[in-house]
Structure formats: structure tokens, C-alpha cells
């Protein structure tokens, strides 16, 4: 069954609806064939069904970039914002409507370049929002410019002789910010791990930051090609307090036991290595949350309309 949406839905009425995959399918995706974003979209739609999200209380916020078309493809509320500003928009949504489930979809340029200041402060605020960084190591929408995560030496239209600087590592950066509470890394070509990571991030109370390693079939298909072909160079971080995906045990035999409560070890594991590590690096739900401190007062529908009209009456055209 399809669900109608209302901005003024309060959740007070009894809701016995059951949602299936079709209920979460929005517009037809316009990503390139083979784009890693398609895998992320499928995992998110599966999660919405498994957890029985309600469309009226689910919001997807994005900035600008290929990945930022995500809200168009989920049949829920969405806000397609401007470049680098998805996180402050999500902050406003969550503070004003704390009962909503809020996800943010960003690309590597959107988050770690123009949106970097918002990214760092969102980590410190630790608001209960789940952020997905779909990192394909390039500006894809604007046709192959180097981004902060582009590997050193990788040629692009803005660095035809290869990127000069070492790539920014979003996991190391996030782990270094005060009050980080959930930091994980997964890959779009390992769908079982991707789904399990998104599910763990959703259940975490606080700001969940998930970096998703992603291939761009047009511009950066070569970056993760070896990792796709050789599971041995991928290391899964496993722990009963973190993440275990038993169906991957036969294929991904390179596994490391890591307790995500150990921040020092998480930072060490995030350092440059000859393996790609997937899993939860760090998790601590005891960290202070800004949305619990600064949540806005809850008002009735009538009060909201009255206050909105009063505010609009202050202006003249």
C-alpha cells in the first residue's frame, strides 16, 4: 500500500499500515549504470522495510552532487539543498521535529570540501541524525575534478598531472573531532556489509557517520577495482559490540576483532594501511547530544500555523 504524506501528521493516531519495498520507491534513478549510489539506495530501501519506517516521519536531506539526488528516489520527505549545506538543514529539521527519523546523503566534495565546517561541528553536536558520505573520490556531477579524497597522483580535469596532495581521510578526520559517537566505513560492492552498517547506524542514538566507499563507473572505476577482485585486501572489523556479518565469513576471511568502544585503537586502525578496513571503528552512546539539550518546544498544529502567520505578517512586499 502507498502512504500519503502530511507535514502536519503528529503520529498520535493508531497506525497499522505495513510498508513494502514499493512504498519506498520514488522517482526512477538517473544515476549512470553501475553507479555505487544504486547499491546504497537499495540498502536504504531494504532498511526502511525491515524497520518499518513511516514515510510521514522519515526525512532525507542532501546538498549538491550525484549522491545528492538521493531524496528524489526515496518516497518520503526530502530536502535537496545547496552545496555543502545538507548538515545544517538536517540540524534544523531534527531540532524542530525531534520525533522525525533524519538521514543525510552527501558526496565527498559536498561533505569534506565546501561542507567541511558543518561536518566538523555536526560531529561535535552529536545530533541524532544518520549521515551517509558516498565517497567516490571525485567530483562526478561536474565531470571529474579532484576532490579532497582523490588519491595522490590520480589525474583529473583540475589536476591532469595527478593530484598533488595526499587524500583527506574522512574516518581519521571524524575520529579526531571532539564528541564523535559513531564512525563506520563500508563499501557499496559488499551489499550485506553495507546493509548491516546502515542498520547499526540507524539504531545508534547520536550522530552516525558512515563513509561508503564507492566506485564511479565514469571517472574512478579503477580506484577500488583491485579491492573488488581481491577480497583478501579487505579487512572486516568484527566484534559482538560492533558488527558481525556471518554470510561474508567465507569470502572475506581477513577479519580483525576490534571493540568499537576503544577510541585509541580505532584511531590506529584508521591510519593508512595496505588493507581496506570495513566496520564500526568507534561507537559511544554516552556522548552528550545537542538535540537533547536544545530541542525546541513542541507545539500543536494550530499553534504552528498561528506563529507562522504572525511571522509572515511582519514582512511586506
User: Does some domain include residue 167?
Assistant: yes
pLDDT digits (tens, 9 = 90+) for 11-56: 445 678 999 999 999 999 999 999 999 999 999 999 999 999 999 9
User: Does some domain include residue 1?
Assistant: no
Q: What is the CATH number of the domain that holds 246?
A: 3.40.50.970
User: Does some domain include residue 6?
Assistant: no
Instruction: Using the Cα atoms of residue 279, residue 282, residue 287 and residue 290 in order, give the sign of their dihedral.
Output: negative
- What's the total number of domains in the chain? 1
pLDDT digits (tens, 9 = 90+) for 244-273: 999 999 999 999 999 999 999 999 999 978
Residue 4: the pLDDT is 39
Residue 11: the pLDDT is 46
User: Does some domain include residue 15?
Assistant: no
User: Does some domain include residue 67?
Assistant: yes
User: Does some domain include residue 10?
Assistant: no
Give the range of the structural domain holding residue 53, as residue numbers without chain letter. Answer: 21-311
pLDDT digits (tens, 9 = 90+) for 202-243: 999 999 999 999 999 888 888 999 999 999 999 999 999 999
- Grid coordinates of 101: 527519523
User: Does some domain include residue 58?
Assistant: yes
Q: Count of CB atoms within 10 A of residue 272's CB?
A: 8
Strands 77-80 and 234-238, by their bridges, are unpaired
pLDDT digits (tens, 9 = 90+) for 283-311: 999 999 998 887 677 788 899 899 999 99
Q: Are 50 and 203 in contact (CB under 8 A)?
A: no
pLDDT digits (tens, 9 = 90+) for 92-103: 999 989 999 999
User: Does some domain include residue 8?
Assistant: no
Q: How far apart are CA 213 and CA 188, in angstroms?
A: 6
Q: What are phi and psi of 234, to 5 degrees?
A: -105, 130
Q: Which among 26, 60, 211 is positioned nearest to 129, based on CA atoms? A: 60
H or E stretch covering 186? strand 182-187
**pLDDT band with cut points at 50, 70 and 90 for residue 317:** low
Amino acid at each position: 500500500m502507498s502512504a500519503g504524506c502530511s507535514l502536519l501528521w503528529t503520529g498520535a493516531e493508531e497506525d497499522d499500515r505495513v510498508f513494502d519495498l514499493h512504498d519506498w520507491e520514488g522517482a526512477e534513478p538517473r544515476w549512470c549504470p553501475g553507479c555505487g549510489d544504486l547499491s546504497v539506495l537499495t540498502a536504504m530501501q531494504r532498511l526502511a522495510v525491515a524497520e518499518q519506517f513511516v514515510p510521514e516521519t522519515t526525512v532525507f536531506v542532501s546538498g549538491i552532487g550525484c549522491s545528492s539526488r538521493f531524496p528524489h528516489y526515496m518516497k518520503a520527505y526530502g530536502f535537496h539543498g545547496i552545496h555543502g549545506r545538507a548538515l545544517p538543514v538536517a540540524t534544523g529539521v531534527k531540532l524542530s521535529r525531534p520525533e522525525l527519523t533524519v538521514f543525510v546523503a552527501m558526496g565527498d566534495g559536498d561533505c569534506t570540501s565546501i561542507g567541511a565546517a558543518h561536518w566538523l561541528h555536526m560531529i561535535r553536536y552529536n545530533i541524532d541524525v544518520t549521515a551517509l558520505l558516498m565517497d567516490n573520490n571525485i567530483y562526478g556531477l561536474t565531470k571529474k575534478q579532484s576532490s579532497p579524497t582523490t588519491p595522490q597522483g590520480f589525474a583529473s580535469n583540475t589536476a591532469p598531472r595527478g593530484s598533488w596532495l595526499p587524500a583527506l581521510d574522512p574516518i581519521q578526520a571524524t575520529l579526531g573531532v571532539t564528541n564523535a559517537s559513531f564512525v563506520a566505513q563500508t563499501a557499496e560492492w559488499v551489499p550485506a556489509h553495507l546493509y548491516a552498517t546502515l542498520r547499526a547506524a540507524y539504531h545508534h542514538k547520536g550522530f552516525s557517520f558512515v563513509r561508503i566507499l564507492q566506485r564511479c563507473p565514469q571517472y574512478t572505476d579503477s580506484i577500488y577495482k583491485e579491492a573488488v577482485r581481491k577480497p583478501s585486501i579487505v579487512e572486516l572489523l568484527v566484534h559482538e559490540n560492533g558488527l558481525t556479518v556471518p554470510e561474508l565469513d567465507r569470502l572475506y576471511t581477513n577479519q580483525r576483532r576490534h571493540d568499537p568502544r576503544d577510541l585509541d585503537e580505532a584511531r590506529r586502525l584508521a591510519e593508512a594501511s595496505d588493507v581496506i578496513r570495513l566496520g564500526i571503528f568507534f561507537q559511544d552512546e554516552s556522548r552528550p547530544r545537542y538535540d537533547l539539550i536544545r530541542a525546541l518546544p513542541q507545539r500543536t498544529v494550530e499553534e504552528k500555523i498561528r506563529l507562522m502567520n504572525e511571522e509572515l505578517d511582519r514582512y511586506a512586499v
